[in-house]
Structure 1
Amino acid sequence: MNDFQQEKEKLTAALSNLKVSNDIEKANADLKKHIGAPGMGKTTFVQNLANAMGRDCQSIPLAGFKESGEYSILGDEKKPSLVAWAIKKQSSKNPVILLDELEKVEDKEIQKHLIQLFKDYKKGEKFTDKYYQTEIDLSHITFFATVNYIDDLDMELKKEIDITELPDFTSEEKEKILKMKAKEINDKYSGKKGGIISEEVIKKILQRIKEVGIRQAERALYKVEQEYIYTKNKGEKFTATENPQE
């Protein structure tokens, strides 16, 4: 059996492996777009949502995206389509496909192909993958897109997507999220009384780092962890009361 036939059989198996009824499996054919500044948790939100739905999530980073060596957006005789590739990669007929940072697609041809894919998806049409010579029901797929800056998004792409704007985190929400992250880190070092990251350290991080999201603040937490590991390996005393570096 040649490699192509093996790949085609894997895709066919994924398409026929239904674990839920058609009514549950079919997606609402609206492409959801979450807008918010970097570090607002858009990507994590979609991934958690997919987990809650019991669906596999395939993330496609679009920053600087030109053309993948593994697939093209609509597919052709030489490469599978994005949808077929995601189905095979996740071994699932109904994956959630996350198009991350959609506004960073600069290639006009790729923008054109994405618009065509979105139009077919919204119509609930079936899609024929030329590479695998297989028909795919797009109504089984759920698409999400994230956008950092709406003004940077191509106008034609903008027309095809439902917009959900995420509000900025409040100070209380940031502190709550960092406490959860700190607990995850502290739980790994249960032998250290009180953990390695105290509430005082969290407050200092929030005072030092002014941002709409929490990406830099999260990095500061993990830097504290790295400093703890470094000092422990050197046999030195560790204290996290100093201002952590960004």
Structure 2
Amino acid sequence: MVTDKAGKQLNIMTEYLFRKLSGMIAVTEVMKSAFSVVCTDKVRFAKGDYIVQPGHDFRSVYLIVDGWATRSKLTSNGARQIINFAVPGDILCFNAALFDKAEVYVQAHTSLDAFSIPIRPFSDLLNNQPQLAVALAWTAAQEEGVVSERLVSLGRRSARQRAAHLLCEIHRRLQVVDLVRSGEQFQMPLTQEDLADSLGISMIHTNRVLRDLVRSGLIAMERNSVRLLDLDRLREICEFSDDYLHFPDERTK
């Protein structure tokens, strides 16, 4: 059991992960203690730092403590498609336990604090804690669901629906780790360029869509934060269902 001062501090820093996992499994002190063994190296990435790049060897698995990251691909002419965003409690480079090289850019979108977990100890953790391993594999599988929905958005949803869907998705993911404040407000450190690169539309079109959502009384935007003024309507516009996120915790439904 983790009982010392350092252990208590570790529990605080990994609380977002265990808040998320608590909907999947009964998190025990034994699991937390086992996780503490591999979370010994805390690192900080400056905004814009690449954590890993396509074709490069994985160095570690990372657990985000604070900050946001992006997973993206670049075309030959430098155009960026953001695949998804990673937030506190998310694990980066989970595939390092299976593959040698990365296939996407993983980049610190803000200043980012994370635990850098060596690949071999992380693999041992999965082998020695099968219930925890299943829960962690669920978080990795969830990423596949996000990518599938992004593909549907890019191929079949209007720009307005894409924006509404992305906002609902981010809200839901942050809600599960208790990062949504009263009034459905949450921090969202994304520029219009970031949103455009995620939605697959131009910045001009992105600006137009966001202004439309504001004028319609659906959202309010401030610097680095968003308030969803009419969540039910927003979900209706894009036919949002969180089934693809596979959150089993009924407390946050």
TM-score by length of 2: 0.24
- The structure that is strand-richer by fraction is 2
Larger Rg: 1
TM-score by length of 1: 0.25
